[in-house]
């Protein structure tokens, strides 16, 4: 995570570590952890009041003065679909709407839906997009329900307005049966001066579903489809990519595996993971089933982050879609070192984890958009304190190299 420490030291100039800048008082945390805050409740007049797949981004790579969190989720308002962008400037204690994000394919058709958001803030300029630009990706499904479109939008003003940038991948109708040809579930990471958009892909006739990515150096032109996780067994459905860089410089890639053979009754979407030196080279890496110390196999929609606290090798923290608990690993993903820990939060589908700078990165913000397939859910959030992390009151600079965790 801090491999490019020299680069991050250079940034101290714009927001020195030692200065407790306005909006960053260590004492703001004096009140303790934020337990469970309601971020959004859909209006009662909406026919479908669903809020799954919530995502949060910490804005910190352009040396902002204040800690700013943005959150969005997949929702189905009536009419031309959009996502709300909600902002918090007080460590997640309160939230308010700052904008609506509309996607290209759905706005053209005036209906349909947008699914599976992911946010990313540029730590470095890419093409014409300066550092500090926020990218928002999602799967736009037009009103005719005949295609799936992984689009990238950009915001130059910290999420207050959005413009369409490009469409990375187009697939067939949103049909999750093997044999259909949609694309799903985008995720963004930067490496080696390239932006990678990772997604689930049913278009390859050799695989019911595989995980793949495409890269770009300008966010407009996208390279060929490169496999990340593609099983020889056609039936298997790896899905829901998330990737985290660890302190040893390696990357951990977590995914669910639909029709996983290991424990089909209890873990039909058993979480698997791979470890590699580059986020663009996972296909040759060994797949591991995640089985925790108490025998639990997390299942469905994993979300993985790494933080430098909690032990000499830091801590991997992973959420899944089946348990209220979280799964941690203090040995850089060693197969036998997963431990189940209480989260203080409920079960939810694809719960996002965001490492906060507060208390020396001991606090992870968990965002929960509710259960999969339910029509009446809300978005909640709260802190999770990494076990074994020192209870320091430090509040470190948001721009202290964090953006450079992604090379
Ligand atoms: C979904 O795809 C499968 C496989 O191609 C197909 O048999 C099925 O008819 C499709 N479902 C719908 C609703 O189109
Ligand atoms: C492929 O995976 C499915 C689902 O787990 C399993 O039933 C089947 O036996 C596997 N096929 C082979 C050839 O391993
Ligand atoms: C969080 O708060 C919401 C809304 O009050 C509630 O429905 C949910 O059960 C709470 N979750 C936990 C884990 O306490
Ligand atoms: C949610 O709403 C859809 C569309 O009205 C309906 O088909 C589905 O059964 C509902 N799901 C639940 C869990 O109520």
Domains of the chain (ranges; CATH) run 37-394 (2.120.10.10)
Q: How many angstroms separate the first and last alpha carbons of the chain?
A: 9
38 lines ligand 3 (CB under 6 A): yes
**Alpha carbon distance 108, 124 (integer Å):** 31
Query: Quick check: CB of 234 below 6 Å from ligand 2?
Result: no
Which stretches of the chain drop beneath a pLDDT of 50?
Answer: 1-30, 397-398, 400-407
Which ligand sits nearest to residue 268's alpha carbon? 2
At 256-291, the pLDDT tens digits run: 999 999 999 999 999 999 999 999 999 999 999 999
Do β-strands 82-88 and 379-385 pair in parallel, antiparallel, or remain unpaired? unpaired
- Sign, CA dihedral 302-321-389-294, equals negative
> Which stretch of DSSP H or E encloses residue 9?
helix 5-11
Whole-number Cα distances in Å, 266 to 83, 167, 226, 287? 33, 37, 32, 20
Identify any residues that bridge with 59 across adjacent strands, giving them in sequence order.
68
Grouping H, G, I as helix, E, B as strand and the rest as coil, residue 44 is coil
> In this structure, which ligand is nearest to the CA of 180?
1
177 lines ligand 1 (CB under 6 A): yes
Confidence (pLDDT) at 27: 34
Measured from the CB, is residue 261 less than 6 Å from ligand 2? yes
Q: Taking phi first (over 0 means left), then psi (-120 to 50 degrees means alpha), and beta for anything else, what does residue 401 get? A: left
**Are residues 12 and 400 in contact, defined by beta-carbon separation less than 8 angstroms?**
yes
- Give the three-state DSSP class for 405: helix
Sequential DSSP letters for 108-154: HHT-SEEEEEEEEE-SS-BTTBPTTPEEEEEEEE-TT---EEEEEEE
Distances in Å between the Cα of 19 and the Cα atoms of 26, 58, 92, 169, 361 are 11, 19, 22, 44, 17
Q: For position 3, what pLDDT does the model report?
A: 29
Give residue 52 CA to ligand 4 midpoint distance, Å.
Answer: 14
């Amino acid at each position: 995570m801090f491999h490019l420490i020299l680069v991050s030291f250079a940034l101290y100039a714009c927001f020195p570590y030692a200065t407790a800048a306005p909006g960053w008082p260590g004492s703001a945390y004096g009140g303790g952890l934020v337990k469970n805050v309601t971020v959004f409740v859909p209006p009662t007049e909406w026919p479908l009041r669903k809020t799954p797949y919530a995502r949060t981004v910490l804005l910190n790579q352009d040396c902002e003065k204040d800690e700013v969190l943005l959150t969005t989720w997949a929702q189905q308002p009536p009419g031309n679909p959009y996502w709300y962008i909600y902002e918090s400037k007080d460590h997640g204690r309160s939230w308010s709407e700052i904008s609506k994000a509309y996607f290209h394919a759905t706005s053209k058709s005036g209906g349909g839906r947008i699914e599976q958001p992911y946010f990313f803030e540029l730590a470095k300029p890419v093409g014409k997009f300066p550092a500090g630009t926020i990218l928002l990706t999602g799967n736009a499904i037009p009103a005719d329900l005949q295609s799936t479109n992984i689009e990238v939008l950009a915001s130059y003003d910290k999420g207050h307005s959005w413009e369409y940038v490009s469409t990375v991948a187009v697939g067939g109708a949103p049909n999750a049966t093997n044999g259909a040809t949609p694309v799903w579930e985008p995720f963004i990471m930067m490496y080696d001066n390239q932006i990678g958009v990772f997604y689930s892909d049913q278009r390859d006739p050799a695989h019911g579903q595989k995980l793949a990515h495409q890269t770009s150096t300008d966010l407009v032109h996208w390279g060929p489809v490169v496999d990340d996780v593609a099983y020889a067994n056609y039936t298997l459905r790896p899905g829901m990519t998330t990737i985290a860089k660890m302190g040893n410089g390696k990357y951990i890639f977590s995914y669910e595996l639909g029709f996983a053979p290991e424990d089909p009754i209890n873990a039909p979407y058993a979480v698997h993971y791979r470890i590699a030196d580059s986020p663009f080279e996972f296909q040759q890496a060994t797949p591991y089933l995640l089985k925790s110390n108490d025998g639990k196999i997390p299942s469905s929609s994993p979300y993985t982050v790494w933080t430098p606290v909690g032990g000499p090798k830091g801590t991997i923290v992973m959420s899944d879609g089946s348990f209220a608990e979280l799964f941690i690993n203090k040995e850089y993903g060693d197969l036998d070192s997963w431990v189940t820990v209480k989260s203080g939060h409920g079960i939810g589908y694809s719960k996002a984890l965001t490492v906060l700078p507060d208390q020396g990165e001991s606090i992870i913000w968990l965002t929960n958009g509710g259960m999969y397939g339910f029509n009446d859910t809300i978005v909640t959030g709260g802190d999770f304190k990494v076990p074994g992390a020192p209870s320091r009151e430090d509040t470190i600079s948001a721009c202290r190299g964090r953006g450079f965790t992604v090379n």
